[in-house]
Amino acid sequence: MVDCAYYSGGARQPGDAQSLEEAAAHKRRGNNFVWIELYEPSRELMAEVSSHFGLHELAVEDAAHAHQRPKVEPYDDFYFIVYRAARYDKPTNRVVFTELDLFLGAGFVIAVRHGEPADPERARRHLEQTPHLLKSGPTAAVWAILDTIVDDYAPVLDGLEEDIEDVERAIFGGGENLTEQIYLLKQEINEVYRAVHPLLAPLDVLERGGFEPVDPGLLRYFRDIADHVRRIQEEIFAQRDQLISVLEAHLSLINIRQSEIAAEQNVVVRRLTLVSTVFLPLTFITGFYGQNFGWLVRHVDSFEAFAVFGLAGLLIPFFGIFAWFKRGGYL
């Protein structure tokens, strides 16, 4: 158990409970409630929580295991809420996700955190700065937790935007194949979307007053969170479209570079073909006159004969092929 606080009359009361039994023994009616923070609790601890606060075994089992999807599930006398928090890690340029499971019931809020250790005091300080909301009961704690989680998505989107801009500069700066990096960015953006989008449905229900434990005075605050989530979702869509455009531009540049390479290779092959075409008849002639048969030995026995049969026999086809290439536009 990381922390356990008891609130009554809009203020935190001194003398925090040292055990779950003491926390459950507090008066929990009206705006009196217990706020418990747990970090990766064991099965035994979750079983003890269930016994003291009457939690359903299915919700307890989900909270004991991470990797739950964001959701809001109503039970007989409490709500089980799953959030996903996110943080942008600059050294690795990656988004780090954590999971937060909440039990909201009459007179208690139990937060179960999984993943990277977070600072639960942020939400507590955030709520205690607005004591008039504390009088609304345990739902105010849920608002404070959710509000801090949604606020943390802003620097995540800023970090992803910088990554997209870096990829754009690398692409048009003649960088290497960045397809894998673009797909990794797209995967992270999709993960952020999957973490944020499921929050809209329960927040819409909250705006319409669909949850009985919510004080009407808190509805406008949840409406503000819903507006932030919608803006975040719109930015996610914009970044996803931007990344698709970046990928298309990258693939287009790759195709252009491949076309340029193919054109260069064609020029090289053309030159080699011309050289081979020139030397093929010349090689045949030199090979022919390199034979040692009688007529050749008897008639090519002076420089004049060598010039006529040898040199002229090479120059005439050479200039003939040159004229042919010139006329055909190969040169």
233, two tokens: 């979702």
108 vs 125: CA distance, rounded Å: 18
Same domain, 227 and 284: no
Same domain, 271 and 250: no
d(CA 109, CA 4): 10
Examine the pLDDT at 257 and tell me if it is beyond 70.
yes
DSSP three-state, residue 73: strand
Rounded average pLDDT over 183-187: 89
Model confidence at 240: pLDDT above 80: yes
User: What range does the domain containing 323 cover?
Assistant: 267-328
Q: Which helix (H) or strand (E) holds 46?
A: helix 43-53
pLDDT value at 7 more than 80: yes
208 and 285 in a single domain? The answer is no
Cα–Cα distance, 255 to 258 (Å, whole number): 5
18 compared with 315, residue with greater pLDDT:
315
The residue among 255, 275, 301 that closes a domain is: 255
* Residue 219, pLDDT above cutoff 70: yes
In a domain, 261, yes or no: no
DSSP 124-170: HHHHHT-HHHHTT-HHHHHHHHHHHHHHTHHHHHHHHHHHHHHHHHH
189 versus 26: the higher-pLDDT residue is: 189
CB 51 within 8 A of CB 45: no
pLDDT class of 213 with cuts at 50, 70, 90: low
Flag the least confident range among 19-33, 67-81, 106-120, 304-318: 304-318
Q: Which candidate, 141, 5, 123, places its Cα nearest to that of 81?
A: 141
The rounded radius of gyration (Å) of the Cα atoms in the chain is 39
Contact 246, 182 (CB under 8 A): yes
At 97-107, the pLDDT tens digits run 888 899 988 88
State which of 255, 290, 318 marks the end of a domain: 255
DSSP letter string over 260-312?
HHHHHHHHHHHHHHHHHHHHHHHHHHHHHHT---HHHHHH--SHHHIIIIIIH
Same domain, yes or no: 147 and 234: yes
Domain count, the chain: 2
CATH of the domain at 151: 3.30.460.20
- For residue 21, pLDDT over 70 is answered with yes
What share of the chain has pLDDT > 90, as a percent?
A: 9
Give the pLDDT confidence score for residue 8 in this predicted structure: 82
pLDDT for 119 beyond 90 = no
C-beta separation of 102 from 120 below 8 A: no
pLDDT at 156: 93
pLDDT classification of 76: cutoffs 50, 70, 90: confident
